[in-house]
Structure 1
């Protein structure tokens, strides 16, 4: 209950401590409806918890996007114009032509649910907002760094590339020396800092996510923009120097080890382990360093690439040496001699997602351990699980937790992270599409579960091109190039096969391993507006 506050009729709700200015909205007489949560924000946006009235009222509108927009517009005031941020030049309905068809009606239903709900959270076509979508608990009127990182790939598939790069730039601008290069945690729709917090994995996850966006979009702004490039560079240098003190000078970002979600080395926000270094933070740092190395390579700095790839491999070696207990992996430590194993949600399963566990029986055993312990995780944690199981070919487990996003917690089903990640899991893992748009290349590696005989996804964006992919029984892949110019295609299937038939002709395969699993592959070029069909013998 809010006490000792003043009420006014301006278009904003802000609180600067007990003497803050809260907003009364006409048409709502019960203030607890509007102020049912705790919202705090400083004048300069730092150390913040806050939101705008219109976005809080969204909870009362039962998810109606039109009502949300009308409410937000109605609550706008001249005050909103004080923010010096880019505005959209035109209002455009954010829709996508991406479609899915399948032998499995449940998959069709779930994909359409995810697509429609995800697009409901786009705020770009609301006047005076920056291009963005909600990436936080519904009703907060903001986007959270960690949530955006997890949702960005799904957003790309839904045509939200402008939103993605705008949101990352907003975070990057807030990672200043004053805050030891830690970016804001939440930013509202108008580009104002909403909250500050520090979770080590998110710092490096932002680099990994940004590099993946570069690979999918081919947009060189992801690697050349000064604000973004400065963020990446500061994160792997100045930030690390400022956050390598609790277990000093070992090259791993850490925290003092106090419990709580606001300054932690792990994405597990309920952890009471007092970790100073956690496995998910180390895994994200590994992927962040690898991504930074690749960014330098793409910018033409080969010496820098070699330097940072070596640093990444040193992290990998450290983890596989220091964090292996003999029969399982430790998930965090409080000192060089004080470790903990057991199950810890994100600081357990994100080891697999970030690929820092050793391929083979060690990873397979740990995946079994995760499967046996993750069923009671909160829904946000479960949204990461497909990204842990699918990379290791565990398609049934991955599919199970894709479905859990809809069924496991109906009360939280509208959490934006769930529909966005369902979209990305479907395309990235079920039909197995990956991209290297700067090199005009796409690859496929199907992982259809037993319940799904075939899936067709059309209008998948890869750089400036669109493709259609049909997967059948994990043994036949059809790719249609919807664009006018050619695209290179690497066709991959799990297993050791001497030949793959392409358009009626057998081609000798290259056999390799991914995460300890054997794959067979061939490469081809699909001309503009043409279709190619590959199948196993």
Structure 2
């Protein structure tokens, strides 16, 4: 592990949240050479023996000696911020190695800390826990970590690339039935469920989180292929992603039950978000309404076209997430900050960060787990959400580039985080309100920093010198930006010349 990231802010609440998250997550790490139990769970607290662990950390229930695909994918960025690049790569390799032809190219759901298959979730090559979105999320995780580290291992490793390439081709092709969407079985978790929403009882063969994560996996595979200079395959993956998004927005999500069967909505302006399709059963019946992961993963992964329909659906998620069918477990709530940060809703995202933190001392629904705060996803995601969410840092280490966009809610006037691992070096980033950003590069190579600020502004100041910015719109968010080069050991401040301009 490298140095410990530290936050400074005028918000004592944020500093306390970040300090707790860093301290708690770092206590869940197993360094190289650690020896411990394998196959430990609620039925066998001492496991079935001991083994030498690979570099890894807890991602899943604390009382089990395993890291889980779904949890790992959600925790990986926070782990990177904590300096756990070696652990991330080792855990990715363990999952990729398990996606064998005998397993239908499906990685196992959980690995012991030595990389072997965890027994409670793996009963044999024909019977192990399978949740479709996790496969696609692992592909996207390879790309996200490559953007943070610039480590060519993540694109050149033959096993990792074979997993990514096979997932978006053969794995998907074996699971489609007349549409571009990969399907689950409609059965339980040992049969191959289509959704992370394990307890819905809906027997879905296609789900909103499944199609959304498949879309992001195609985009990720395209970028990874480009990094490998496999440009024809990259173009193929890009086209698959484009077709999947078009199909989702024009067809998949736009039918609803009627007395005569199903029909498309004639006018999206009249569409109630509660009637947006989020899944299909084996007999072709569309399923609408609130579906937790099946609902919020659709905007989270960006498969809904930007515009009024997406905004209405975000409103719907915000309402349902605090309603009678709110997520019953704290770890499910850890996705909600990501959903709202992705669409520029900093106030709602910050509300959910604090809500998750507030749940840390309450008992978890699974008694063996202990407190909610002992569940690793809470601490790791709060670390990542502070950096990628509140600071709005988007890395591109392979190109020696990054961008920032302050997403501070009204309760936070300033925020800085120092010792953020980036590429081969470290960064310190401060935002003073939403109109001034300061970046220091402690070590590494010369960087191109695109400093972004919400809204339209006529002039930005770069170390006090005026510059005319560009104005862009991305995913429905408009911002002004300029790019500056920063050498190692240097600091640069970019700010809005007139902070009174409307954001």
Normalized against structure 1, the TM-score is what? 0.80
Assess if the C-alpha contact under 8 Å between 2:186 and 2:282 holds in 1. no
Q: CA deviation at 1:484?
A: 5.6
Q: CA deviation at 1:528?
A: 1.6
Provide the residue aligned with 2:145 in structure 1.
213
Correspondent of 1:386 among 325, 337, 341:
337
In structure 2, the CA distance between the partners of 1:535 and 1:342, relative to structure 1 (3 Å rule), is same
In structure 2, the CA distance between the partners of 1:509 and 1:225, relative to structure 1 (3 Å rule), is same
3-state SS, counterpart of residue 459 of structure 1: strand
Deviation readout 1:185-221 (Å, 9 max, x if unpaired): 1111111100231111111111101111001000011
3-state SS, counterpart of residue 372 of structure 1: helix
Determine if the alignment matches structure 1 residue 97 to structure 2 residue 4.
yes
Determine if the alignment matches structure 1 residue 136 to structure 2 residue 60.
yes
Q: CA deviation at 1:497?
A: 1.3
Q: CA deviation at 1:304?
A: 1.4
Provide the residue aligned with 2:254 in structure 1.
324
Cα distance in 2 for residues equivalent to 1:301 and 1:190: 33
Correspondent of 2:92 among 158, 168, 176:
168
Correspondent of 1:115 among 11, 22, 26:
22
For structure 1, list consecutive stretches of 5 or more residues without a partner in the other structure. Answer: 1-93
3-state SS, counterpart of residue 472 of structure 2: strand
Cα distance in 2 for residues equivalent to 1:200 and 1:484: 38
Provide the residue aligned with 2:427 in structure 1.
467
Q: CA deviation at 1:100?
A: 0.6
* Higher RCO by CA contacts (8 Å cutoff, separation 6 or greater): 2
Cα distance in 1 for residues equivalent to 2:191 and 2:475: 33
Determine if the alignment matches structure 1 residue 191 to structure 2 residue 191.
no
What CA RMSD, in Å, does the superposition of the two structures yield over aligned residues?
A: 1.4
In structure 2, the CA distance between the partners of 1:511 and 1:261, relative to structure 1 (3 Å rule), is farther
Cα distance in 1 for residues equivalent to 2:115 and 2:195: 26
Assess if the C-alpha contact under 8 Å between 1:386 and 1:425 holds in 2. yes
Determine if the alignment matches structure 1 residue 350 to structure 2 residue 297.
yes
Q: Show structure 1 runs of 4+ deviating over 6 A.
A: none
3-state SS, counterpart of residue 443 of structure 1: strand
3-state SS, counterpart of residue 29 of structure 2: coil
Assess if the C-alpha contact under 8 Å between 2:426 and 2:444 holds in 1. no
Normalized against structure 2, the TM-score is what? 0.85
Correspondent of 1:497 among 453, 457, 461:
457
Matches within 5 A, 1:351-430: 351-375=298-322, 376-377=326-327, 378-408=329-359, 410-411=362-363, 412-430=372-390
Q: CA deviation at 1:96?
A: 3.0
Provide the residue aligned with 2:168 in structure 1.
236
Provide the residue aligned with 2:45 in structure 1.
none
Cα distance in 2 for residues equivalent to 1:226 and 1:314: 28
3-state SS, counterpart of residue 273 of structure 1: coil
Q: CA deviation at 1:262?
A: 5.5
Provide the residue aligned with 2:221 in structure 1.
292
Cα distance in 1 for residues equivalent to 2:190 and 2:354: 28
Q: CA deviation at 1:299?
A: 0.5
Cα distance in 1 for residues equivalent to 2:298 and 2:190: 19
Aligned length: 441
Cα distance in 2 for residues equivalent to 1:480 and 1:425: 20
Q: CA deviation at 1:324?
A: 2.6
Cα distance in 1 for residues equivalent to 2:278 and 2:444: 49
Cα distance in 2 for residues equivalent to 1:321 and 1:531: 47
Assess if the C-alpha contact under 8 Å between 2:30 and 2:56 holds in 1. yes
Q: CA deviation at 1:259?
A: 4.6
Determine if the alignment matches structure 1 residue 482 to structure 2 residue 442.
yes
Deviation readout 1:264-288 (Å, 9 max, x if unpaired): 1111111222211011110100000
Deviation readout 1:272-331 (Å, 9 max, x if unpaired): 222110111101000000110111111111111111100110000011012135413211
Q: CA deviation at 1:335?
A: 5.4
Larger Rg: 1
Cα distance in 1 for residues equivalent to 2:217 and 2:178: 18
Cα distance in 2 for residues equivalent to 1:215 and 1:260: 32
3-state SS, counterpart of residue 355 of structure 1: coil
Provide the residue aligned with 1:148 in structure 2.
72
In structure 2, the CA distance between the partners of 1:373 and 1:431, relative to structure 1 (3 Å rule), is same
